[in-house]
Amino acid sequence: MADDRIFNTLEEIADELISSNKKLYLIYAFNATGKTRLSTILKDKLNISENDEESKVKKILYFNAFTEDLFTWENDLENDEDRYLKYDKRTYFGNFLENQQQFDQVIITFQKFVGDLIVPIFEDIEEQAIDNFGNPIFDIIGEQRIPRLERNFKSIRFTLDGETVKISRGEERIFVWSIFTTLLELIIEELSDSEIDSDFQDFKYIYIDDPISSLDDNNTIDSAIFLKEIIAKSGNTDLKFILSTHQPLFYNVLYNEIRFEKRIKKTCFYVMKKEIENNDEIKYILTDVEKDSPFGYHLKVREELRNAVDSGRVEKFHYALFRNLLEKTATFLGYGRWEELLLGLEVAGEELTREDIEPYTQRIDLFTHNRQSDLEYKGLAEREKNTLIDLFNSFEKKYEFKQQEENLNG
């Protein structure tokens, strides 16, 4: 039986997380449970000032729904030509980004997810300075009255084939997530080196709440695995991680990846629920699910592939899902390489031998790593669709998967 822990308030949960010696908490929380408020409470508890606001020490870096709100669109409604994303450099997150000057790395990380067709361009925005009453401010230089310019905002324009475009909502989320993970990697890198007098030495906690909501399964899986790899590099630091999400697939991937990652120790896996009793008292319940394998994400991947094959709607990202399924199956069955699982599968009625599999491994690699932006998505040719359909059907038949409904439904 899973163990339940009952709390009367979110503040009690925050105190428990702060006092724990765990390196990482992974929390699955249903909608309206209070997980985003929990991140805010944790931030307020940790960033306590002993004297005044100016002396406040930042001990937590957090990512939640409010992080995305720091970035807004200028849509050029008058001309409908120059659309760009912008952020205020005076906010804590904006100032942090400006000080580190990691713009090139942000672009590299972003293009890992969407491909290199979309190119972000960062530029300062010059604006006329105004006073508290909205009046323009001028400087007197000699006999000249010169408008005072401010650079409080930075713009990000996204270009596709040289043309400025407005990226999709999903791509925007990936972009903001790329900024956060770039800064997180920098923090871990500096804190891991004892010889560096890091600006980040006061950071003790990283709180990440639903970083990739509403993304497709392929990007959800990639984001979870990418995050696990970043966390795994923090073993030589005192950083603690609290991850929360309401997405079963994201939780599921992280759950399985972290459990079998030897570099990440002292972990705890919870499902969080909120219950209202008859006297209207609210109780928060944390259920320890470390031994319960709550979602079985390899089964979710298999289900997605089965639905795509049955409907005939096979797309490029299904190759990435198939590779992910091959990798997990190979690990479970003790194979050294996932490519070995292709031996004996049938394509177009022909059984694959060791001499045959190279073109198929290359095809899987190509469609896994050569991702296209959803601004210019190119579908698969019929031959490529049929190849994946044959591979998957033959894979299921050979390895005799049995689907467990309770795992799929969480």
The CATH number for 115's domain is 3.40.50
Report for 216-225, 304-313, 338-347: range of highest mean pLDDT: 338-347
Least confident piece of the model among 13-22, 46-55, 78-87, 139-148: 46-55
Q: Which among 252, 120, 139, 127 has a CA at the least distance from the CA of 182?
A: 120
Tell me whether residue 143 is in a domain: no
- Report pLDDT for 298: 66
Question: Does the pLDDT value for residue 160 go beyond 60?
Answer: yes
Amino acid identity, residue 36?
A: T
Domain end, chosen from 239, 259, 288, is at 288
325 and 391, same domain (yes or no): yes
Tell me whether residue 142 is in a domain: no
- Report pLDDT for 186: 92
345 and 281, same domain (yes or no): no
179 and 301, same domain (yes or no): no
Instruction: Give the model confidence (pLDDT) of 328-351 as tens digits.
Output: 788 667 777 889 999 999 998 889
199 and 267, same domain (yes or no): yes
Question: Does the pLDDT value for residue 155 go beyond 60?
Answer: yes
Q: Give the residue numbers spanning the domain of 318.
A: 297-409
273 and 308, same domain (yes or no): no
120 vs 156: CA distance, rounded Å = 6
Tell me whether residue 185 is in a domain: yes
- Report pLDDT for 56: 52
84 with 156: CB under 8 angstroms?
Answer: yes
Amino acid identity, residue 3?
A: D
Tell me whether residue 229 is in a domain: yes
Tokens of 74: 């200028």
282 and 325, same domain (yes or no): no
227 vs 241: CA distance, rounded Å = 11
Instruction: Give the model confidence (pLDDT) of 179-196 as tens digits.
Output: 999 999 999 999 998 888
Question: Does the pLDDT value for residue 43 go beyond 90?
Answer: no
10 and 83, same domain (yes or no): yes
Instruction: Give the model confidence (pLDDT) of 360-408 as tens digits.
Output: 988 887 776 543 333 334 567 899 899 999 999 999 988 876 554 444 3
CA 356 to each of CA 80, 346, 369: distance values in angstroms, whole numbers, following the listed order:
53, 11, 22
Q: In the chain, how many domains are there?
A: 2
What value does the mean pLDDT take over residues 36-62? 72
Tell me whether residue 154 is in a domain: no
Tokens of 272: 């969080």
Rounded to two decimals, the pTM is 0.68
DSSP assignment of 86-143, as one string? EEETTSHHHHHHHHHT-HHHHHHHHHHHH-SSEEEEEEEEEEE-B-TTS-B-EEEETT
- Report pLDDT for 10: 94
3-state secondary structure of 372: coil
253 and 355, same domain (yes or no): no
185 and 305, same domain (yes or no): no
